[in-house]
Structure 1
Amino acid sequence: MKALFSATALALLPVTALAAPSDILFILDGSGSMWGQIDNVAKIESAKSTMLKLMDEVPADARIGLMTYGTQSKNSCQDVSVLNAIGSDRGAIKTSIGALRPLGKTPIEKSLVEGIATLAGKEPADVAKSLVLISDGIETCDGDPCAIAAKATDTGVALKVHVVGFNVDDEARNQLECIAKAGGGKYFDAADTNGFTSAMQAVVEVAQAESAPKPVAEEPAGPVVTEFFRDDFDGETLGEVWRVDHASEDNFIVDDGFLTVLSTTFGDFASSEPQNLFTYTGELPKGDWDMEIIYTGEYTTGADRLTMGLRKDQQNYLATGYLGILTGTGCQKTEMRLTKMSKGTADTRNVPFRGTSARGQCYHGFPLENEDWAAVTADHQNKPIKLTLSKRGRDYTSSVELLGFTDADGNPYVRETEKYTSLRAPGVPAFNVDRAKKNYVEGEVLMNIDSFVINKVE
């Protein structure tokens, strides 16, 4: 009742009363449950009516964007769409709202991952930024949205996650309140249409009232990370900066916001002709940088692999690879590898990520000790992997993170390799997908690549 009372009280103020320049990204629920009715009116229709009116009331100096989920596929947990970028014309946003038709699931975790990344990367950085999630139910894709929301406070900008729960039950309310609390924001409960209108006015007031804090020190306390290049694969074809070597065009497609790659071949950077080697032909930042790729996989062969790094040729490269759901006669594990190949001589650093040695033949070193293998498999089916190659001076390291998964202390679970030193650049950025074992393996490797990003680090 406290949150609803606050929403009603704030709604009595004019929307411009506490206005300050801000960025607001709305995530409007497009799941099938939004066709449920309140007072003989579908919730989606009430939500759209309120949102359309709100677009005319939000102060002009606020930059607004719109996301949704569940509108393209009935069963997909990847169905998250950015309908209008931050700063879009209000008329265009209203058109998107009017055309929205609910259909599918409620992938809240994935929508928060994309929403937080969008706001965190939007310049100027010293403007208050709010992610406003509007949902009538609970996460239905086995995600952990509370853990993701907590990352909003670690982005380096003044970013908060606010939540409006529209006609929700106790279970959904508990999760949505958790998301708002973890994201440093507020939760607003709307039991009916009138309550939803008040809640939406209130959440905009809160977003507009918050001004970004000014820096305390003149010099940054740590490295300054600036996005240098990003490809979210939102079009229908690869961008001009990409070259596909040894192409098998039947085995990759750009669709639905992903680069989807299929492989039944064995051959990573060490192969003379690695199939579908995606080579970045643009520039790299001078000095230090991070190169990262975020993707999900089906992990069906027991030897599914994605490799990313700097490649000159078969005998010269520096590459990190992540092998998901490796199974053998006595071992079940996932791991990351960083390999330096110089003039045909290779050296590799293996880093165990998750696994079980309950069968007695896995090497030791899993930080989480013996996990339940069914839980490991389920996490890899539902949570994205972020694989990163980092350059600092002449040293290179790699790291892997399972987004939405935390350790026992609630911290993001990240594993990093020791460094390799290369006096000269060992090649150009590239990645490929393959089956990591040549023999005794059947099936197809399928990876959905969500983004490829290069960040300059100063």
Structure 2
Amino acid sequence: MKLFETTLATLSAGLIATSSLAAPTDILFILDGSGSMWGQIDGEAKISTAKSTLTQLMDDVPTQARVGLMTYGTTSKESCTDVQVLNALGTDRTAIKASISGITPLGKTPIQTALMQGITMLSGAEPADIQKSLVLVSDGIETCDGDPCTIAGLAKSSGVNMNIHVVGFDVDAETRAQLECIAENGGGQYFDAADTSGFQSAMQEAVILAQATVEPEPAPEPVPEGPVITEFFRDDFDGEDISDSWILTNPDPESYVVEDGALLMLSTSPNPFTEENGTNLITYTGDMPDGDWDAKVTFTGELTASGNVLHFGLWKDTDNFMASSFYANKAGSCWSTSASLTKTSKGEKEEVSRIYRAHVPSLGNCYTKLPKGPEDWSTILGDHETLPTTLTLSKRGRSYTASLEMEGVTLEDGTPFKVITDQFTALRAPGELTFGMGRYGNNATGEMLLLVDSVVINAVEE
């Protein structure tokens, strides 16, 4: 008896320690009142241990909880509908203790019927937005041909936060399996008790768990608007030379250097994509993403020469490539910067382009959508020395486009200003990702100095 009282005191202390953390909760106890509860454990009838423990719990369950009590098997030896609601949720604890005292085991174990009534009671109790827990105490298996394991699953679909915890008191393997299934399907936990102290500990744990706040199901991840972009490769040129991710074709060490986190390139030569023995063609040695991708090169530069400046694309040889290019073109009355896309297959060339910024944007095809209108050419060139510009080659399916944007250049609504070319199609990749710089044709004069800040390849999933 002294051990029993000590264990109850420990149980009480544990529940009091958790009461400050408890939120408003509905707890419905279903206590087995079948004849088998007269069986003895540690020299005492199981029903006596269960009643003493549950009576003590009535003093220690936090006042924030509304408690109710059900039992079964207490009025008939043969009835499979012998389920009694002794106390509704929120009944005074003194009245519940009186009901516990009056329970006398007698009949069968209609667990399915008890669970159905208990789930109905909890799901219909207001307020509906608090946690609701059912604590079933049983020492035996369903004896009325019911399927309580399946019925327990209704707790999850009841429309409220509900779970079912089960304490099995001195049960055999078959009974344990059924009671474990009830707890699992009811979203709760099973506690196995083989003796008096084990039962008291199990009841304490079950009640503490019944008070815990059930975390709501996490909200589904928002479906991203537009494509999902994942960085696949990046080179910020932080070393002392070009990394092993690249190989140089016809290198000219006097015309490039890697320093201060950038690749500095100098050229007075024609476009290396189209010229035999073009110098300093830099080709990526790694794999490209499967499916769609964007390949981006970001740079600043001194653009004193006229014509195309930076070439960035899939290059096989001078007769076969798909290349985006950046132009700084001072020709006739249309002084402009632009992006172009060139498809060359077996020497046959097609090209599309889009004006980005223009000195005189009102003449013929010299047109930009920037709202500021005509710009001073020296301002455009000065911006390119300080504002990073990004040239992008994009693959979508078998189609390719080129695009161009400059940091800080925006439309009237503040969105970045970007131009995108028309598309070309290639059934197979027309080469390896390559970049280089050079003037348009042999007749152009002046030099070009570019500082390449980074090359990035992004995988794109629509």
After TM superposition, the score normalised by the length of structure 1 is 0.51
> What is residue 234 of structure 2 aligned with on the other side?
230
For 1:441, give the aligned amino acid: T
The CA deviation at 1:216 is 5.5
Contact 1:292 1:453 in 2 (8 A): yes
The CA deviation at 1:264 is 1.1
Find out whether 1:339 has 2:359 as its counterpart.
Answer: no
Contact 1:356 1:362 in 2 (8 A): no
1:336 and 1:223 map into 2 onto residues whose CA distance is 23
3-state SS, counterpart of residue 303 of structure 2: coil
Listed as ranges, the matches of 1:4-153 within 5 Å are none
The CA deviation at 1:238 is 1.1
Contact 2:307 2:444 in 1 (8 A): no
The CA deviation at 1:361 is 5.8
Find out whether 1:366 has 2:368 as its counterpart.
Answer: yes
2:227 and 2:260 map into 1 onto residues whose CA distance is 34
For 2:294, give the aligned amino acid: D
Which residues of structure 2 form unaligned runs of 5+?
A: 1-217
3-state SS, counterpart of residue 298 of structure 1: strand
> What is residue 33 of structure 2 aligned with on the other side?
none
The CA deviation at 1:330 is 2.7
Residues 321-363 of structure 1, C-alpha deviations (whole Å, 9 max, x = no match): 0012x213433111111001111101000111111327x8663
Listed as ranges, the matches of 1:35-434 within 5 Å are 217-303=221-307, 305-324=309-328, 326-357=329-360, 363-368=365-370, 369-434=373-438
For 1:230, give the aligned amino acid: R
2:422 and 2:237 map into 1 onto residues whose CA distance is 31
Find out whether 1:453 has 2:423 as its counterpart.
Answer: no
For 1:363, give the aligned amino acid: N
Contact 2:334 2:366 in 1 (8 A): no
1:412 and 1:390 map into 2 onto residues whose CA distance is 18
How has the CA–CA distance of structure 1 residues 362 and 380 changed in structure 2, closer, same or farther, with 3 Å as cutoff? farther
The CA deviation at 1:377 is 2.5
How has the CA–CA distance of structure 1 residues 335 and 380 changed in structure 2, closer, same or farther, with 3 Å as cutoff? same
The CA deviation at 1:215 is 7.2
Contact 1:351 1:416 in 2 (8 A): yes
Residues 360-413 of structure 1, C-alpha deviations (whole Å, 9 max, x = no match): 866332212423333322222221110001111111111100112212221101
1:323 and 1:220 map into 2 onto residues whose CA distance is 35
How has the CA–CA distance of structure 1 residues 370 and 215 changed in structure 2, closer, same or farther, with 3 Å as cutoff? farther
For 2:347, give the aligned amino acid: G
3-state SS, counterpart of residue 335 of structure 1: strand
Contact 1:263 1:445 in 2 (8 A): yes
| Greater Rg by CA | 2
How has the CA–CA distance of structure 1 residues 437 and 409 changed in structure 2, closer, same or farther, with 3 Å as cutoff? farther
How has the CA–CA distance of structure 1 residues 362 and 298 changed in structure 2, closer, same or farther, with 3 Å as cutoff? farther
The CA deviation at 1:218 is 5.0
How has the CA–CA distance of structure 1 residues 259 and 362 changed in structure 2, closer, same or farther, with 3 Å as cutoff? farther
| Two-structure CA RMSD over aligned residues (Å) | 1.9
How has the CA–CA distance of structure 1 residues 396 and 304 changed in structure 2, closer, same or farther, with 3 Å as cutoff? closer
Identical pairs, percent: 40
3-state SS, counterpart of residue 364 of structure 1: coil
1:240 and 1:431 map into 2 onto residues whose CA distance is 15
1:220 and 1:302 map into 2 onto residues whose CA distance is 42
Contact 1:296 1:380 in 2 (8 A): yes
Contact 2:242 2:258 in 1 (8 A): yes
For 1:221, give the aligned amino acid: E
2:382 and 2:256 map into 1 onto residues whose CA distance is 25
Residues 5-61 of structure 1, C-alpha deviations (whole Å, 9 max, x = no match): xxxxxxxxxxxxxxxxxxxxxxxxxxxxxxxxxxxxxxxxxxxxxxxxxxxxxxxxx
Residues 248-306 of structure 1, C-alpha deviations (whole Å, 9 max, x = no match): 11111110000111111112312222210000011111111110000001112233600
How has the CA–CA distance of structure 1 residues 277 and 440 changed in structure 2, closer, same or farther, with 3 Å as cutoff? closer
For 2:424, give the aligned amino acid: Y
3-state SS, counterpart of residue 242 of structure 2: coil
The CA deviation at 1:419 is 1.2
The CA deviation at 1:224 is 1.1
2:369 and 2:390 map into 1 onto residues whose CA distance is 18
Residues paired across the two proteins, number: 242
The CA deviation at 1:228 is 0.6
